[in-house]
Structure 1
């Protein structure tokens, strides 16, 4: 039986609760019309919609591979929403983010993952390192792990810094075949001794069909690169990049293995 294509719910933001100043994209905790709280990522933030695209693709791929990720939803922001906001910076952010944004279900009571406190198996460490090497995620370091402990389980959050090739897409094919040298800073690299097993398992799951389903989720409004004639043309570059990177995964696996050897 064919896998069901991923689908994201759409919610309407009803209340801006509080900003999360530590995030580079100025996220906030917000309430939606379904009664739940979300960590809201704004398309009008300095990093623009490309951070939302990376978060969307990274989160959906992580879910496919079996990791725990807070539910991702499209969050619609009404034009009138920010008119009563007294903070001018936040008011501008809301004004430039009218329409569809991205949000993650807020894990109330979660705590930041600390590798000195929480035990992670070598299998899990290897799988997370593999995922981040595939996505070129520069933001899973000891300084900022972007992992949470919730109900005694490990959750992955915030892939907005991944897929940085899309900030300059002209040479996407060359970038897809590059080793990911920043993997040397990964918080779990020392324990990643099962990378080849992760590579074999995960490549079988990330089929071209699944990759296409994921990139199809990207809203047209987020595809703002005017060097492409259509939104779908830009959307397909993401699919081509990921499929090329998967076909050449030995490059980033070898880089991670070499980087780990340099640490021990």
Structure 2
């Protein structure tokens, strides 16, 4: 299960996201980007963050650590912003926290390059979970300590908004032509060979077990949280085996010009990011 912390202070809203996440301090003295159970996108956004975030980490991709955050709505009483105050009041109980990467900067493909191998692994993973929110318009990637980090997976696994369609999800294609890493010639075949064998029934059972019951209870068509967990695993497992065959790469994803290597265009790969 996710480690549970308690929110002790609401620091500031982060208005980049549509769900209005906020930076909070917790009783473990950590800072977390919190996504709220009471936000308009609902609890399925939190489920997607957990399933995708845990899966990405187990596959060797860099994602912020996740915790569940217990929130007492009283924290919102002193918040001057009415929208934020209402969000805090409607999100009492468990919410999701992501480790705050202090000093990280937003990814810019014109400033930071990646290898075809890393690009392939990210694209393959995004195809697996059907993440359509990694375009050049909204990369949802950070550079922290000179390395690429994946964030914001709440819009993934769209089939969980309509479970009757889930059995056909394994064969659905994934259009990677608009992916922010498409220009770096993603090596999809190598990624599939390395990562697909890691996605097992046992691994998916472990990952879905991390989703709190309260975010799964009462799902229409299911009689228990465990039944919902099995539905997530039952959709991702067959998709992992064949998704590399259904990734559509546009001509823009052709091999990129030779570069000195991954990292900043200046060749500096030890950049620590902007100061907080």
Given the two structures, how large is their TM-score scaled by the length of structure 1?
Answer: 0.91
How far apart are residue 235 of structure 1 and its match?
1.9
Q: Is the 8 A contact 1:19 1:26 kept in 2?
A: yes
Give the match for residue 4 of structure 1.
none
Q: Which residue of 1 aligns with 2:8?
A: 14
Q: What CA deviation, in whole Å up to 9, does each residue of 1:132-173 have, x standing for no partner? A: 010100111111111111111111111111111111111211
Corresponding residue number in structure 2 for 1:197: 190
Answer yes or no: is the 8 Å Cα contact 2:188–2:244 preserved in 1.
no
CA RMSD across the alignment: 1.5
Give the aligned partner of residue 220 of structure 2. Answer: 226
1:245 aligns with one of 233, 239, 255: 239
In structure 2, distance between residues paired with 1:204 and 1:73: 27
Instruction: Classify 1:151/1:263 alpha carbon distance in 2 versus 1 (closer, same or farther; 3 Å).
Output: closer
Higher helix fraction: Structure 1 or Structure 2? 1
The separation in 1 between residues aligned to 2:186 and 2:113, in whole angstroms, is 15
Which string of whole-angstrom CA distances, capped at 9 and with x for unpartnered residues, describes residues 54-94 of structure 1?
11111111111111111111111124222332322112211
> Aligned to 2:112, what secondary structure does the other structure show?
coil
Residue equivalent to 1:63: 57
Indicate conservation of the 8 Å contact 1:178/1:251, yes or no. no
- Give 1:47's aligned residue: 41
The aligned counterpart of 1:186 is: 179
Query: For each residue in 1:72-129, what CA deviation from the matched residue of structure 2 results, as whole angstroms up to 9, or x when unmatched?
Result: 1111112422233232211221122111111111111111011111120110011100
Q: 1:262 to 1:124 in 2, by over 3 A?
A: closer
Offset at 1:229?
2.0
CA deviation digits over 1:197-252, x for unaligned, max 9? 10011012121100111111111111142332222212211010111211332433
SS for the counterpart of 2:98 is strand
TM-score by length of 2: 0.87
Distance 2:121 2:185 in 1: 8
Taking the aligned partners of 1:198 and 1:176, their CA distance within structure 2 comes to 18
What is the rounded CA distance, in whole Å, between the counterparts of 2:28 and 2:253 in structure 1?
47
Specify whether residues 117 and 221 from structure 1 end up closer, same or farther in structure 2 by C-alpha distance, changes over 3 A only.
Answer: same
**Structure 2 runs not aligned, ≥5 long:** 255-276
2:250 aligns to what SS in structure 1?
Answer: helix
* Structure 1 residues 212 and 90: CA distance shift in structure 2, 3 A: same
1:213 matched to which residue of 2?
Answer: 206
Structure 1's unaligned 5+ residue stretches are: 1-6
What residue number does 1:260 align with? 250
Match of 1:96 in 2: 90
